[in-house]
Amino acid sequence: MTVLAPPTIGRAGRSATRRRRSWTGWAFVGPFMAVFAFVFLAPIGYAIWLSLFRTKLIGGTSFVGVDNYRQVFTDPQFWSAAGRVSLFLAVQVPIMLFLALLVALAIDSGRLYGRAFFRVTVFMPYAVPAVVATLMWGFMYGNRFGLVASVNEALGLSLPDPLSADLMLASIGNIVTWEFVGYNMLIFYSALQVVPKSLYEAAELDGAGQLQVIRSIKLPAIRGALMIATIFSIIGSFQLFNEPNILQSLAPNVITTYYTPNMYAYSLSFSGQQYNYSATVAIVMGILTVIVAYAVQLRGARKER
C-alpha cells in the first residue's frame, strides 16, 4: 500500500499567505484609519501649520516660525485662563469623583432601597445637554429673576449672588458636578459589578465590616476605573467652554472673553480673526493637557505596583 505524503507549502507560498493575511487586516481597519486621519490627524496638522504663520493687515500672511508660541508663553490673558481652569480642576474634580464614588458604593452595597431608581435618577442629568443644563441653572442663579431672587423676596433674605465674580467659578463647578456625577458613578458601579463574589464571602467569614470591605476589596478593585475617570475629568476641565460661554450673557462683566483657554481661542478666531494665534493657543493648551493627564497616569501606575 502506498502512503501519500501531505503536500508541502514552500517558502513562496507561506510568504503569499502572510501577505494576504496582512492585507485582510488592513481592509478591516482601513476605513477607521481613513476617518481617524480625516477628522483627527488632519485638523491637528492644519492647526500646527497655521500656528507657524501670522497674518497682518499690511503685508499679508508671513512665516514666523515659533514666534506665536513665544507670544503665548508671555500672554497674561492665556495664563490667567489656564490658572482659572487649573483651580477649577483642583477643586471640582475631587469633589465630583468623591460624590460619584460615594453613590456607586451606596448602590452596590445592596442596602439601598430602590437602587435601580436611584441609579437612573443620578445618571439622568448626564442625558441633559450641557446647553440646557446651563440655561436651567443660570435661571436659578439669577438674583433678579430666578430662584435666588424668589427666595430673597419670599424670606426677606439677601443671599450672595452666584453669578458674582467671587462665586462664578464655584457656580460653574456646581453645574459640571451635577452633569457628570452620574456618568462617573456608572463607571465606578460597572467596575464594582465585576469584583468576584468570593472575595466578599471570604471577608464575611473573616468578620470584616463594610468599611474594611470598601478599603481592602472595593477600592483596590476599581483603581483602574478611578484612573480613567480622573483622566477624563482632567481633559474635560481643561476643555471647559459651554458653561461659561452660556453664562457670559448673564454676567458679561464677570466672564470675559478669556475666562477659559477654549473661550480665549474661540474669541481670537471668530471675533478677532486671529486664526494663527488662536491655533497656537489651542495647541499649547492641548500639550499642557496631555502633560498633566500623562503625569497623573504615571503616578497612578506607580501606586499599582
Query: 81 is written with which cell numbers?
Result: 485662563
pLDDT tens digits for range 96-127: 999 999 999 988 887 777 778 888 899 999 99
Query: 298 is written with which cell numbers?
Result: 504615571
How far, in whole angstroms, is CA 202 from its chain's centroid?
Answer: 37
Confidence of residue 303 (pLDDT cuts 50, 70, 90): low
pLDDT tens digits for range 157-211: 888 889 999 999 999 999 999 999 999 999 999 999 888 888 887 887 877 788 8
Question: Nearest-CA neighbor of 261 among 231, 240, 242?
Answer: 240
* Gap between the Cα atoms of 86 and 96, Å rounded: 15
pLDDT tens digits for range 120-154: 899 999 999 999 999 999 999 987 778 888 888 88
| The pLDDT of residue 298 is above 70 | yes
3-class SS letters over 215-274 = HHHHHHHCHHHHHHHHHHHHHHHHCCCHHHHHHCCCCCCCCCCCCCHHHHHHHHHHCCCC
| The pLDDT of residue 256 is above 90 | yes
* DSSP string over 31-75: HHHHHHIIIIIHHHHHHHHHHTEEEETTTEEEE-TTHHHHHHHT-
**In DSSP terms, which residues pair with 55 in a beta bridge?**
61
* Gap between the Cα atoms of 297 and 242, Å rounded: 26
Q: For residue 245, with 0-12 CB atoms within 10 Å meaning exposed, 13-18 middle and 19 or more buried, which class applies?
A: buried
Q: What percent of the chain has pLDDT over 90?
A: 55
| The pLDDT of residue 1 is above 80 | no
pLDDT (0 to 100) of residue 63: 87
**In DSSP terms, which residues pair with 61 in a beta bridge?**
55
pLDDT (0 to 100) of residue 144: 79
Confidence of residue 47 (pLDDT cuts 50, 70, 90): very high
How far, in whole angstroms, is CA 159 from its chain's centroid?
Answer: 32
66 Cβ contact list (under 8 Å, min separation 6): 52
